[in-house]
Structure 1
Amino acid sequence: MAIKTQTFIDPFAGTQQRFAATVLGMWIFLVVVAMLFLGAIMGYLVVRLNPNLEAPFIPEGATGLPVSLVFSTIALMASSFSMHQATRHVRQGRSQEAHKSMTITMLLACAFLVLQIFAWVTLWRQNIHFGNSLYAWSFYVLTGLHALHVLAGFVPLIRVWRKTARGAYSKQHPEGIVYCEMYWHLLGAIWLALYFTLWLGMRT
């Protein structure tokens, strides 16, 4: 009597299958990060729209959002574009151009963080400190939380930057730079949502 044997087929045996699986995992991670910021924004709006606050939400002396936030927004959007360009160059087999685009991305990310610091200093000089109003607390927490995620993004950015210098990515194997681009685009989208929320909060 012949014995039938079953052959196990590994669904992740191929490179493309593994890549698709890790992209899915990356999407799940991004959704978690997005939900974190969505919760923070919802909390801000609940406090901002509360008509029964004991003290004014916006303290005296606040003149609106710091101007440096406009420039930091431009810097982050530009870094998102250069990150996209880096991925596009990798898919086209242009390693040197990809490395240049990654360098630009890192410089723009540094500029974003520096401009965020300018924004915090501007508010501090207006005597809008962390604990003296809900507006100040909300501003520092929301922008600080985002800045921490940008700072954390430097870990994969530097790794990808070094690998593009060696030409480690190719059209067939763009994995690392694709993950980095996904995360960076999310940070850009989150910042736009935060900026609009803070801007709206100053006018509501």
Structure 2
Amino acid sequence: MAIKTQTFIDPFEGTPQRFAATVLGMWVFLVVVAMLFLGAIMGYLVVRVNPNLEAPFIPEGATGLPVSLVFSTIALMASSYSMHQATRHVRQGRSQEAHWSMSITMFLACVFLALQVVAWVTLWRQNVLFGDSLYAWSFYVLTGLHALHVLAGFVPLIRVWRKTARGGYSNQHPEGIVYCEMYWHLLGAIWLALYFTLWLGMRT
């Protein structure tokens, strides 16, 4: 009895075409993430400009955004730059430099998260608690949602970091580190939008 075999037909003509398709898929994913945060920011702004709130939006005791957010912003922007450098080193065939840049990126990401915790503790010490006001609720939700996405980013970051240690990427095959860079740059852009929104909300 003859055994029928199925032949897999690759829909892509080669690696460059496959890479372009996966980059497009990554862009779709990033748009979805961006829309999530855009909706959250729009919700914050709608509540902030509502003149019919029963209680003041900003509670007594709140003295403005925690200063640690300035430093966390600097850390995240620096990590975005080091992430870009890692990709550039890969494309130039410098695996060791790429690995060091990834190490710096992960360190700065940890610094960012630590400073976010400092910001939450600062508000807590000012008695600005999660359920006490719309300002507190909005602040914790927006910054917490972003922190969760940064934490989720550690999964691909660690995988890429380990692969760069083995010299697993090249100019011909930079796929994983490129996807990671795209995601990390988005988180940086989203954080800038969140920070500006929260800063503006404290002054209107």
For 2:129 and 2:201, locate their aligned partners in 1 and report how far apart those are by CA, in whole Å: 17
Query: How big is the alpha-carbon RMSD for the aligned residues of Structure 1 and Structure 2?
Result: 3.4
Separation (CA, whole Å) in 1 of partners of 2:4 and 2:157: 51
Q: Distance in 2 between matches of 1:10 and 1:57?
A: 57
Q: CA deviation at 1:13?
A: 3.1
Number of corresponding residues: 204
Question: Take 1:132 and 1:9, find their aligned partners in 2: how far apart are those partners?
Answer: 59
Question: Hey, what's the Cα distance between the residues in 2 that align with 1:78 and 1:67?
Answer: 18
Q: Which moved more, 1:31-40 or 1:8-17?
A: 8-17
Match of 1:55 in 2: 55
Deviations 1:107-145 (A, max 9, x none): 000000000000000000000000000000000000000
Mark the runs of 5 or more structure 1 residues left unpaired by the alignment: none
1:134 to 1:161, Cα distance in 2 relative to 1, 3 A: same
* Counterparts of 1:100 and 1:2, CA distance in 2: 55
Deviations 1:145-191 (A, max 9, x none): 00000000000000000000000000100000000000000000000
Instruction: Give secondary structure in 2 for the equivalent of 1:168.
Output: coil
Residues 116 and 6 of structure 1, relative CA distance in 2, 3 Å threshold: closer
Shift of 1:11: 4.0
Query: Which residue does the alignment assign to 2:117?
Result: 117
Which aligned pairs between 1:12-91 and structure 2 lie closer than 5 A?
A: 12-91=12-91
- 1:167 to 2:155 alignment: no
Q: Distance in 1 between matches of 2:112 and 2:194?
A: 14
d(CA) in 1 for partners of 2:4 and 2:68?
Answer: 71
Residue 2 to residue 156, structure 1, CA distance change in 2 (3 Å): closer
Output the CA distance in 2 between the equivalents of 1:86 and 1:5. Answer: 43
CA contact (8 A) 1:11 1:17 kept: no
Q: Please list the CA deviations of residues 5-59 of structure 1 after superposition, one character each: whole Å capped at 9, or x if unmatched.
A: 9999854130001000000000000000000000000000000000000000000
Alignment CA distance shift 1:6-1:83 (3 Å): closer
Q: Indicate how the Cα distance of structure 1 residues 6 and 136 shifts in structure 2: closer, same or farther if over 3 A, else same.
A: closer
Normalization by structure 1: what TM-score? 0.95
Deviation at 1:201, TM superposition (A): 0.1
